[in-house]
Amino acid sequence: MAVDVVGAIASIVLGLVFLVAGGSKIAAGPDWPVQAVGLGAPRGVIPFVPWVEIVVGAALVVQVARRPAALVALAILLVFTTLLATRLSEGKRPPCACFGAWSAKPLGSGHLARNAALIAVAGLALM
């Protein structure tokens, strides 16, 4: 029972983060796709990222297919983290673009730490 509660709480927290991330990307208008290109995101997926985040976030918050949604969130976080780590290893520090207009700060180790924490939360949501 306690494991279910921890998983549910983690799912809601992660879902809220995904909803804010997706919504802030949409709210940023044309600035977010430009930032995403600068980060090195594949152009073909850029238009879909905010909407996928919103759908996954909503599923996590309302506990619809929690474990599959948490698995998708985990996969997204791993891809994003790899992209961030790659840019940092290349010595590039474009804006993160993770939270739209709220992410104007250049990439740094804090972004990796934040994503590591979110990956841990996704792991808890899988419980």
Please, which residues bridge with residue 106 across strands?
95
The pLDDT of residue 90:
95
The tally of CA atoms less than 13 A away on the side-chain side of residue 95 is: 17
The pLDDT of residue 27:
92
- In the block, tokens 């808890």 appear at 124
Distances (CA, A) of 76 to 2, 18, 90, 91: 27, 10, 21, 23
Helices 66-89, 109-125: axis angle to 10 degrees equals 160
The pLDDT of residue 3:
64
Please, which residues bridge with residue 95 across strands?
106
Residue range 90-100, pLDDT digits in tens: 999 998 888 87
What is the C-alpha end-to-end distance of the chain, expressed in Å? 11
Give the global pTM.
Answer: 0.93
Q: In which residue ranges of the chain is pLDDT below 70?
A: 1, 3, 101
Using alpha carbons, select from 89, 83, 90, 78 the residue that is nearest to residue 116.
78
Residue-range definition of the domain harbouring residue 92:
2-125
Count the domains in the chain.
1
